[in-house]
Structure 1
Amino acid sequence: MAKKQLMLLASLMLVLSVFLAACTGKDDKDGATEKEPSKDPGKETEEVEEGEEEPADDASSELDFPMDVSNTSAAVKDGEMTIAMVTDTPFEGTLSRVFYSGTFDADIMSYFDEGLLSTDGDYLITNDGAAEYEISDDNKTITIKIKDGVNWQDGEPVKASDLLYSYQLLGHPDYAGTRYTFMIENVEGMPAYHNGETKEISGITVSEDDKEISITYTEATPSLLSGIWTVPSPRHHYGDVMTGELTMEELVESDKIRVNPIGFGPYKVAKIVPGESVLYERFDGYWRGEPALKELVLKVVSSASILEALKKGDIDIASVPVDQYLKAKDIDNIELLAKVDLAYTYIGFKLGKWDEAKKENVTDPNAKLADKRVRQAMWYAMDNETIGKELYHGLRFPATSLIVPVFAGFHNADIEAPSYDPEKAKALLDEAGFVDTNGDGFREDAEGNEFVLNFASMSGGETAEPIAQFYMQNWADVGIKVQLTDGRLHEFNSFYDMVEADDPKIDIYQGAWGTGSDPDPSGLYGRTAAFNYTRFTSEKNDELLAAGTSEKSFDTEYRKDIYNQWQELMVDEVPVAPTVYRYALTAVSERVVNYSIDSNTDLWLYEMGVSE
């Protein structure tokens, strides 16, 4: 069977090679780009050689990648660096943590903006950042005090009321973004403020000197340590929505966010070429000290040209399309760093709608894929291991759970999740009454009606189309007819516009999530989570998600048990079928110093530099 699947992949790559040369899109290494639902701060491939039928080199036996650069030289003064955003789609340019949605905008902000509290290797808050914190004995109140010398890049001091402003924006009745999540709603008085019943958030107080802010929560939760929002918004720069100076919509579209944003990070934005590049200059007033680089350029580079740009030395740091790994490792002037990522790719099943009035997901009991046995069968039908090994050289591996392996304490490595088993898939479909009644090779539904699923997937990179076609063939092999929505792949932005709008043309879709640093999955799968694109809800899901962030969950063993139960629930219900976890592969020029992708590193961004 593995040989058959490999032949199918090789054939697809060959047949589609001409077509794919013209594909564009904001692509991810799996043909699916992750949106970023982070609670706080939080791509591509290459063609298989024609006629190649032997398995590609498997990197699985050599996945001992470094996470730090090997160059230990001192950083030169006034160095310059160029970093690539590897994508075939312009970045959106919504440069505010409150309002952005895409991962590339997050990348842009990471160089000029940051949270007041830093985090350690386990993504737990520390006192090493621009502020220090204390938590009350009842674990319901956190007090954050901003350190001296922390200034915005226009010279104004960062104030506690700037962090309050973020909460006022996130909870505002007119807020149309996706970050009104549990840790925002849990602030005492926030629901009343969010519903327009009051102009104040009773659970937040700011000291008279504007250096200290206290936030009190309705429920004590361990997510306070990993999911608290600590990114302030510069009220003096944005303008004040609270006084009616401007509307929320005007703020989102303003130049203060899209053209000349400010933060208090190590580099300040000097110039933006919309959708293409950002030029940064060193922020001499950065609170940690003088950054090593004088200038930094972040620019869009297509997946097709990134290796050539690395060879020429035009790019110092870039993510590497995983199917270009074999060529990338032969480039002399770079080194490859990699680690298991806070992300996964998945197949989502549309099960309902978003109720805008109630701001919650509503599951339709009569949805086309309401029978979970059909969803389970589709997961059993997918050969994710072949995808990971043959297209991604072992740098992708089958996903089993919606809590990623990086969260080692909560990821259930022993869970009995579906793996490739076409016969099991067929048995489940038979049990559900989905059988081929007219002899055309495809099953009708339990009522004998034609059963065809419309599948939305993203364009971009040379594996996007082959992977989509591969999964469609997997499903066809067990008798399920699947066709691409509109007969084609969709560009990143239009794809997510359709998914978010619950477009009736979509029955299933392939997406990817960057999970954020908090293991709590409620921001993606909760009843009120706007990112819950499948619209799956259940009382048991509500119960477990609430328990996972309850005061009891300060007991790690209790929380682990709750999340084991939740992972088992999601394997049984299958609102989404996770397909692969991934190693994030980064190419770094040999001249780069003080750079690491290790979350446990002692290095800070401002120390990153070049040795020549």
Structure 2
Amino acid sequence: MRRLKTFVAALLCGLALTGAAAAPSSPAAQPKVFHYAFLIAETGFDPAQVSDLYSRVVTGHIFDALYKYDHLARPYKVKPNVAAGMPEVSEDFRVWMVKIQPGIYFAPDAAFKGARRELVAEDFVYALKRFFDPVTKSPAYSYFNDAGILGLDELRQQALKSKKPFDYDQPVEGLRALDRYTIQFRLKQPRPRFIYSLAGGDQYGAVAREVIEHYGQDHAMEHPVGSGPFMLTKWRRSSQMVLERNPNFRELFYDAEPNADDAQGQALLARFKSRRLPMVDRIEISIIEESQPRWLSFLNRQLDYISVPLEFSSVAAPKGRLAPNLAKQGIQMERVLNSDRTLYYFNMDDPLVGGDAPEKVALRRAIALGTDTQREVGSVRRGQAVIAQSLVAPGTWGYDPAFKSENGDYDLARARALLDMYGYVDKDGDGWREQPSGAPLLIEYASQPDALSRSFDELWKRNMDNLGLRLNIKAAKWPEQLKAARAGQLMIWQLGFTDSTPDVQPDLEILYGPTAGGQNLGRFRHKRFDEIYEEMQRLPDGPEREALLREAQKIITAYMPQKYLVHRILTDLTQPWVSGYRRPPFGNQFWQYIDVDMDLKKVKTGS
């Protein structure tokens, strides 16, 4: 990588310039290293180009957002990050003005030619424009376009129509740096929850224009340079990532606002308050796709943290309590019902399972009704999940644990009756159903080549056999499946979505017609659903917005473009020498808040 060849010189230059802003640890002190593993490979580290969870975990620690979620407040609290305070907002929620703190600097990089580069308002203007540049092909374009920033999409359409490069220098009415430290957003419609778009550095983090121009758009995924607590210093694709403390990182001290009755949160605050952040020096991430070697790596003390693989959940936490042998070692546990949902989607452009014709709707609903989710929870998931009734995730606005819908039903008799009623019967006597026309009926399901995915494959085979539907499983690595999904080449794909904000709107976005081919991988289009989506964007939270959400849920259940499976229960374990860990409410940012006692680790591991 070109950046790594110039990294040492740039780093030394940055250290010389930063002086007191350098890491507080003594140069002679043993570096504090946190070892971590992803179960799925990353795709890259350009905030405007990534959408997968694992890449966004990394970018969220490299790039700074204007705002952040308090890591101890529950259910959540939005606070300034690099912003100098909360935004000034007009009464109609259409004008938002944010001031940022002066004296914040990007990590050292060759793109800055040895100079310290201050973070300024224009960096947020540039970063947001990149989502609209057609060359970027951002999967999050639709999300930011939904904000309705005046003139920004028009600039994109101008570039598309003229086939000329996107004009980053052209002023935009709705996105302006009023001065060096002030940004103004002007929106077409009211957006009461716009602040959530400003609270995710994993996507909307400040980007320096010089970096993109130095390395080129085609290499932006390889060269992330932000002002956050860490910087990428080593990357072997799909194998290893190393991040080190950003020597230019500002003076930031541990602080939080846990609830008064939150004993764990209050204890963490008391222990770490006023500690300089980040508290560790280096993060080393490995890709370990198979569950058994990942679990063994933790047991062998090669990993400092693990989200327990499903196969070992009953070993790690029988009946939801930390196993005595692990507790005796000083291992710590946290269990949460995650703000997520797993699902499979149908490609609505697929000639077999897509479309709104009654027989196509019947086929999708029959497959959904024939999906034995309770078996999935009890077998593959080892009880570490609850059945989902809709797309709304726990902990997000609109979630009601008492809500019930057909989505949560398993009814094999009804599923078979639907297939029979709409002509999906065995016409040639081979034991498999054909299409109503007599043409072959082959369900194609996209999967991944790992042990856990193979367990889900077995469930799919069992469910489809019970329905008399022939199944073909198409396995490929997750990043490859994502590319195929965006290109509309998959018929059915099962995956999980973890919420990055406390609002339901991003969950609805994956079904919003204008986002087809982007976040809307299944290409669902429904006029009334889109109207509901747009109206919900404008409304403040309340009964009127909730009524629209319930109507949207009915449309999804009726047309079944997606089948929601479960909300996952996550069991996180940390080694005894790790302190300060708590799963963040949103955003997946926690590395800066943990500490590693290297002396205790040496004693415990004998190394």
Picking from 365, 377, 385, the partner of 1:376 is 365
SS of 2:232 mapped into structure 1: strand
SS of 1:118 mapped into structure 2: strand
Displacement of 1:455 after TM fit?
Answer: 1.7
Picking from 425, 430, 445, the partner of 1:435 is 425
Aligned residue for 1:251?
A: 217
Q: For residues 435-467 of structure 1, what are the alpha-carbon distances to aligned partners after superposition, in whole Å with 9 as ceiling and x for unaligned?
A: 22333332222223332222222222x231232
Aligned residue for 1:513?
A: 497
What is the alpha-carbon distance in structure 2 between the residues aligned to residue 555 and residue 387 of structure 1? 34
Displacement of 1:196 after TM fit?
Answer: 1.6
Aligned residue for 2:249?
A: 286
**Could you say if the C-alpha distance between residues 498 and 561 of structure 1 is closer, same or farther in structure 2, counting changes exceeding 3 Å?**
same
Query: Contact 2:338 / 2:567 at 8 angstroms: preserved in 1?
Result: yes
SS of 1:292 mapped into structure 2: coil
Q: Does 1:422 align with 2:385?
A: no
Higher relative contact order, chain-length normalized (CA < 8 Å, sep 6+):
1
Aligned residue for 2:229?
A: 266
**Number of residue pairs the alignment of both structures matches:** 506
Residue type at the aligned position of 2:282 = E
Aligned residue for 2:112?
A: none
**After alignment, is 130-139 or 411-420 more displaced?**
411-420
What is the alpha-carbon distance in structure 1 between the residues aligned to residue 576 and residue 438 of structure 2? 62
Displacement of 1:79 after TM fit?
Answer: 5.2
**Could you say if the C-alpha distance between residues 113 and 500 of structure 1 is closer, same or farther in structure 2, counting changes exceeding 3 Å?**
same
Q: Could you say what the CA RMSD is over the residues aligned between the two structures, in angstroms?
A: 2.8
SS of 2:137 mapped into structure 1: coil
**Could you say if the C-alpha distance between residues 175 and 561 of structure 1 is closer, same or farther in structure 2, counting changes exceeding 3 Å?**
same
Displacement of 1:522 after TM fit?
Answer: 4.1
Q: For residues 575-604 of structure 1, what are the alpha-carbon distances to aligned partners after superposition, in whole Å with 9 as ceiling and x for unaligned?
A: 011122211222211111122115299x96
Aligned residue for 2:302?
A: 314
Query: Contact 1:349 / 1:576 at 8 angstroms: preserved in 2?
Result: yes
What is the alpha-carbon distance in structure 2 between the residues aligned to residue 282 and residue 274 of structure 1? 21
SS of 1:151 mapped into structure 2: coil
What is the alpha-carbon distance in structure 1 between the residues aligned to residue 483 and residue 236 of structure 2? 24
What is the alpha-carbon distance in structure 2 between the residues aligned to residue 343 and residue 219 of structure 1? 28
Residue type at the aligned position of 1:180 = Y
Aligned residue for 1:82?
A: 34
Aligned residue for 2:286?
A: 299
Picking from 568, 572, 579, the partner of 1:586 is 572
Displacement of 1:525 after TM fit?
Answer: 1.3
Query: Contact 1:205 / 1:214 at 8 angstroms: preserved in 2?
Result: yes
Aligned residue for 2:480?
A: 494
Aligned residue for 1:335?
A: 332
Q: Does 1:477 align with 2:466?
A: yes
Aligned residue for 2:62?
A: 112
Aligned residue for 2:178?
A: 207
Aligned residue for 1:542?
A: 530
Q: Does 1:184 align with 2:145?
A: yes
TM-score, length-scaled by structure 2: 0.77
What is the alpha-carbon distance in structure 1 between the residues aligned to residue 281 and residue 356 of structure 2? 59
Mapping of residues 2-401 of structure 1, within 5 Å: 80-87=32-39, 90-92=41-43, 94-120=44-70, 121-122=74-75, 125-127=78-80, 129-132=82-85, 133-154=87-108, 155-185=116-146, 186-196=148-158, 199-208=170-179, 210-228=180-198, 231-240=204-213, 250-254=216-220, 257-259=221-223, 261-287=224-250, 288-289=252-253, 290=276, 291-302=278-289, 303-329=291-317, 330=323, 331=326, 332-352=329-349, 365=355, 371-401=360-390
Query: Contact 1:138 / 1:220 at 8 angstroms: preserved in 2?
Result: yes
**After alignment, is 190-199 or 574-583 more displaced?**
190-199
Q: Does 1:455 align with 2:405?
A: no
Residue type at the aligned position of 2:345 = G
SS of 2:403 mapped into structure 1: coil
What is the alpha-carbon distance in structure 1 between the residues aligned to residue 441 and residue 212 of structure 2? 53
What is the alpha-carbon distance in structure 1 between the residues aligned to residue 152 and residue 448 of structure 2? 37
Q: For residues 364-422 of structure 1, what are the alpha-carbon distances to aligned partners after superposition, in whole Å with 9 as ceiling and x for unaligned?
A: 6488x962111111111111111111222210222221111221534574232241110
Displacement of 1:123 after TM fit?
Answer: 5.2
Query: Contact 1:410 / 1:563 at 8 angstroms: preserved in 2?
Result: no
What is the alpha-carbon distance in structure 1 between the residues aligned to residue 195 and residue 293 of structure 2? 41
Aligned residue for 1:72?
A: none
Query: Contact 1:310 / 1:334 at 8 angstroms: preserved in 2?
Result: no
Query: Contact 2:345 / 2:563 at 8 angstroms: preserved in 1?
Result: yes
**After alignment, is 150-159 or 279-288 more displaced?**
279-288
What is the alpha-carbon distance in structure 2 between the residues aligned to residue 163 and residue 468 of structure 1? 43
Q: For residues 514-550 of structure 1, what are the alpha-carbon distances to aligned partners after superposition, in whole Å with 9 as ceiling and x for unaligned?
A: 2331310343111121121211101111111111101
Query: Contact 1:141 / 1:215 at 8 angstroms: preserved in 2?
Result: yes
Query: Contact 2:68 / 2:199 at 8 angstroms: preserved in 1?
Result: no
**After alignment, is 116-125 or 580-589 more displaced?**
116-125
Displacement of 1:102 after TM fit?
Answer: 2.4
What is the alpha-carbon distance in structure 2 between the residues aligned to residue 548 and residue 90 of structure 1? 35
Aligned residue for 1:52?
A: none
Query: Contact 2:584 / 2:590 at 8 angstroms: preserved in 1?
Result: no
What is the alpha-carbon distance in structure 1 between the residues aligned to residue 513 and residue 547 of structure 2? 21
What is the alpha-carbon distance in structure 1 between the residues aligned to residue 350 and residue 184 of structure 2? 37
What is the alpha-carbon distance in structure 2 between the residues aligned to residue 196 and residue 600 of structure 1? 35
Residue type at the aligned position of 2:366 = A
Displacement of 1:192 after TM fit?
Answer: 1.0
Query: Contact 1:187 / 1:218 at 8 angstroms: preserved in 2?
Result: yes
Query: Identity across aligned pairs (percent)?
Result: 17
Aligned residue for 1:11?
A: none
**Could you say if the C-alpha distance between residues 457 and 605 of structure 1 is closer, same or farther in structure 2, counting changes exceeding 3 Å?**
closer
Consecutive unaligned residues in structure 1, runs of 5 or more? 1-75, 355-362
SS of 1:474 mapped into structure 2: helix
What is the alpha-carbon distance in structure 1 between the residues aligned to residue 212 and residue 576 of structure 2? 44
**Could you say if the C-alpha distance between residues 281 and 365 of structure 1 is closer, same or farther in structure 2, counting changes exceeding 3 Å?**
closer
Picking from 559, 562, 587, the partner of 2:548 is 562
SS of 1:218 mapped into structure 2: coil
Aligned residue for 1:403?
A: 392
Residue type at the aligned position of 2:390 = S
Aligned residue for 2:521?
A: 533
Consecutive unaligned residues in structure 2, runs of 5 or more? 1-27, 109-115, 160-166, 254-275, 318-322, 601-607
Query: Contact 1:410 / 1:560 at 8 angstroms: preserved in 2?
Result: no
Structure with the bigger percentage of helix: 2
Query: Contact 1:164 / 1:232 at 8 angstroms: preserved in 2?
Result: no
**Could you say if the C-alpha distance between residues 173 and 305 of structure 1 is closer, same or farther in structure 2, counting changes exceeding 3 Å?**
closer
**After alignment, is 123-132 or 288-297 more displaced?**
123-132
**Could you say if the C-alpha distance between residues 588 and 364 of structure 1 is closer, same or farther in structure 2, counting changes exceeding 3 Å?**
closer
